[in-house]
Structure 1
Amino acid sequence: MTDQLSRRQIREYQLYSRTSGKHVQVRGKRITATAEDGNKFAKLIVETDTFGSRVRIKGAESEKYICMSKRGKLIGKVSPGHPKSPGSGWGVPAGLIPPPSGALGAPWRLLGRIWGAAPNVWGLNP
C-alpha cells in the first residue's frame, strides 16, 4: 500500500474559469483564461506526488510550467531543472508554492485568487 501512496500521477485536464467563461491556457510565458473548449493550449498536464502532496501544472502544447513571478503574476516557465528556471525539492517550478500536506486543492485556490475568482468557481474538465 505504501507504493500506491507514494506513486506519482499524471493526468490531463482543462481548467475552466466561470469568471471569463473560458479555459486557462499556457502559451509560452503568457497564461490567460481566454481559450475555447478543446484548444490545444488549454490542455494542462497535472502531475501529483501523492506522498508529498506536491503538484506541478504545465501546458501540454507549450510544455511550460505554471509559475508565479516575484511580482505575483502567473507566468509559464521551462522545466524545473533547466538552468533558466531552477526548481526546488521534488521539482516544483520556482515561484509555485507547494500546498501543505493533504491539500491537493491548494493550486486551484491559488489560481482562483490570482484571477479574482472564488475557489468554487473553477471547474476541472478531464
Structure 2
Amino acid sequence: MRKADSKRVSLKLTQHRYSLTPKRNAAWLPGAIAALCAVGALVAASIALKSSQDQSRRLDTLCAPPASEQTLREQLVHAQFALEQEAATRTALEQRVAQGTAQIERLQTDLAFLRKQR
C-alpha cells in the first residue's frame, strides 16, 4: 500500500469496527408495558366492582324482608284512592266530550241553516 493511500479518509473509515446501534432508546418499552398492564388492571377492577354492585342489588331485593301488613294496607288504600280519582276524571272527561259533541252538532245545524239563507 502506498503511503498516500494510508492517509485517505475512505481508507480510515473502512478500518474501524462498526456495530449496529438502535435508533431509539429501548428503555421506554418496559415502561410502556407496565403502563398497559396498569390500565388493564384498572379496567378489570372497575368491571369487577360494577358486577359486584349489581349482584349486591339483586340479592338485596331477593333477600328483603316481606312488607308488613300495615304497609300493604296503606298501599292498597292508596291504589284504591288513585283508581277512584281516575274513574272520576274519566267520567268528567266523557261528559265534557258528550257536551262538546252536542254543541258541535248544534253549530253544524246552525251553519247549514245559515248557508241555506244566503
Assess same fold via TM > 0.5.
no
Question: Normalising to structure 1: TM-score of the pair?
Answer: 0.17
Instruction: Name the one with the larger strand percent.
Output: 1
Question: Normalising to structure 2: TM-score of the pair?
Answer: 0.18
Largest Rg, 1 or 2: 2
Instruction: Name the one with the larger helix percent.
Output: 2
More relative contact order in 1 or in 2 (CA 8 Å, sep 6+)?
Answer: 1
